[in-house]
Amino acid sequence: MTYGTHEDNEEFRGRLRRTLHLSINSRNPIFEDKSNTLSRAFSKLLKRLEPERERRSQPINKIELKAIESKIQVLSYIVNCFKREYNTPKNDDPSTLLLNLILDILMRSEDHITNQEIDDLELEIKRLQKAVQFDLIRKSSAFIPACKSNEEVKALSLDIETVVFGHKKYSDDLDRTLLTQLKKLALKLECSLSINEEERVQIVKAMGFPRGHWFKCPNGHPYCIGNCGGAMEESKCFCGEAIGGTRHRLLGTNQLATEMDGATSSAWPGPLH
């Protein structure tokens, strides 16, 4: 049950800020256009990580910093995806719509993200990777003529498009199927695109606890209780409210933070309060 010490949090904040600076100041064409959605997302997180003396919002605690770390990792995966293929996303690329959807989920809050959102984003990033690859295949000179003259190519393309740009919930099984289909389509078109197994998308999660360890103070600020998940001490939230509890009983003013990991009961099997 910790928000981290001020010194540790400032060190963590500085480390994340340096990571963002390295990305933004790189020669990646994505960051040359400050108006694109990816560039704006990086800038928004960088502003949230300003030194305490420069920002007007509340100090950042460990939980919020871990959430920002997760967001930075998601953004880095996306940048690498576009860097390998497009250099920079364009508004008329179909995959850009999927990109904007991912960023909308990711940036709803600068310093909060649930483990369920992370699981969903890992899958949607895989979908985005396949969307980018499919966009490039469709831009090859052989694609349109082949679709007109070869029914198998046309059907395969439609199958891929339905999954990549459809609304069906994505899964690892669908991802493997898409990879096989993309390789087959590229081979039929004698496309020079090299489609390899993607690096495993694995985003760091808030604190690494199983479900039922997250709670929130009366003002809704989340915190976690380690070990068995039962409250054994009282403390203060950064907003001043009492958090925790004693003898495995949570304070009556605190609640289970279901929004953090989807848990409907605490990890400790006894009564919550």
Kindly report, residue by residue over 218-235, the tens digit of the pLDDT: 888 777 776 777 888 888
Containing structural domain, residue 114: 6-188
In the chain, the percentage of residues whose pLDDT exceeds 90 is 8
Q: Mean of the pLDDT values across residues 78-85?
A: 71
Better-predicted residue by pLDDT, 197 or 237 = 237
pLDDT at 1 over 50: no
- If you average pLDDT over residues 75-91, what whole number do you get? 68
Determine the residue type at 172.
D
Average confidence score pLDDT of the chain: 78
Same domain, 52 and 167: yes
Residues 45, 100: one domain? Answer: yes
pLDDT for res 207? 46
| Residue 142 included in any domain | yes
Does residue 199 have a pLDDT over 60?
Answer: no
Provide the pLDDT for residue 253. Answer: 93
Same domain, 183 and 239: no
Under the banding of pLDDT at 50, 70 and 90, the label for residue 210 is low
Higher-confidence position of 84 and 22:
22
Residues 104 and 184 in one domain: yes
Q: Domain count of the chain?
A: 2
- How sure is the predictor about 206, in pLDDT bands with cuts at 50, 70 and 90? very low
User: What is the pLDDT, as a whole number, of residue 158?
Assistant: 93
Starting from the edge strand earliest in sequence, which strands make up the sheet with 214-216, in order?
222-224, 214-216, 255-256
- Residue pair 131/170 in contact (Cβ under 8 Å)? The answer is no
Among residues 105, 167, 165, which one has the least CA distance to residue 135? Answer: 165
Q: Is 225 in the same domain as 180?
A: no
Give alpha helix (H) positions in 139-189.
Answer: 143-149, 151-164, 172-188
Higher pLDDT, 226 or 97: 97
Examine the domain organization and report whether 54 and 170 are in the same domain.
Answer: yes
Kindly state whether residues 23 and 62 are assigned to the same domain.
yes
Residues 134 and 245 in one domain: no
For residues 66 and 179, membership in a common domain is answered with yes
Label residue 174 by pLDDT band (50, 70, 90). Answer: very high
For the range 43-48, what are the long-range contacts, defined as Cβ-Cβ under 8 Å and sequence gap of 24 or more? 44/107, 44/110, 45/20, 45/71, 45/72, 45/75, 45/110, 46/17, 46/20, 46/21, 48/110, 48/111
Residues 6 or more apart in contact with residue 40 via CB below 8 angstroms: 34
Q: Bigger pLDDT: 153 or 213?
A: 153
Do residues 256 and 140 share a domain? no
Whole-number pLDDT of residue 157:
93
| 31-59: average pLDDT | 75
Residue with tokens 């493997």: 176
Predicted pLDDT at 36: 78
| Final residue of a structural domain among 188, 204, 235 | 188
Could you tell me if 184 and 218 lie in one domain? no
Looking at the domain assignment, is residue 118 inside a domain?
yes
Distance separating alpha carbons of residues 273 and 269, to the nearest angstrom: 12
177: which residues sit within 8 A by CB, 6+ positions away? 163
